[in-house]
Structure 1
Amino acid sequence: MDVSLEMIGEDGVTALNKLVELAAYDLSELSGSDIHENGMFVMDFDSRNWFEDSNMDLYFIRYDGKIAGFAVVRIIPEEEINYFNHFFVLRKYRNKKIGKDAAIKVFNRYLGKWRVSQFDWNLPAQQFWRKTLKEYVGDNYVETRRKDNKGPMQEFERETCT
């Protein structure tokens, strides 16, 4: 059973768009979001904007070669920080350590400062990130409020290659 990351190329943008829609649907249970009249949860979204942004790195999370989710890392040059902008694992692959393994693989690709954040209403994400960070860096992370005050965020620094 192998968890891997695959950098998303231009040919993966359509699949990523569909995964973002699945993520929005999945989160609607927690966020309370309603579907739009066009039958979509996400209006006018195109991940091509992420793909074309040189400060965004997009990955498919794969499990045994199959797409199991996605991860989006945003590099924020003005803060010199790597930000886990989006992270989603399909329900079928949850609670099997696939998400934790994928998150750690992403962390291991980048040296320097890291930030992860969640919304107040997303308690499962808060639990996941606290547990994953505890395993990855022990108590060497700081938790504060997001700058928009919509939930917690965790920051740490990764100084060595693993």
Structure 2
Amino acid sequence: MNKWWLPLAILLVVIGLMTGCGAGEENQTESNNGNLQTATNENTDGELSEDEIRITISQDNGKEYIDEKEIAIEEGAILMDVLQENFYVETEEDGQFITSIERVSAEEDEQKAWIFEVNGEKANVGAAEYELSPGDNVTFDYQAWE
């Protein structure tokens, strides 16, 4: 009588483990698919919600990607304020000239600076004066002066 309990117990344990592992894999797959779908939406459609902007941080004319965020804003938000709230930013004492974003800054005697564009065009005012509009795509690129 004891001989048939051991195989039965082993069978039940194996079935329980397979069922438990199978459920875990299914949830994992669903989680991964959800993450892949989210990443795919962000990368392929490029659409922002009606109250968002996208800020991309790069260097050497876009050759090296540093960071990118989609950020909800209110109409008329100032670019420098949004930048400082969402990234690690250092400026000169007057707060007008950006010296570092995400800890990327000029080495001594390096002739590089942070240049920004909004919707593919260089702005005619500084980031501390630039008023954002929802849907703006802002790029800050750390590059050599021209």
TM-score by length of structure 2 reads: 0.28
**Max Rg structure:** 2
**Structure having greater relative contact order (Cα 8 Å, sep ≥ 6):** 2
TM-score by length of structure 1 reads: 0.26
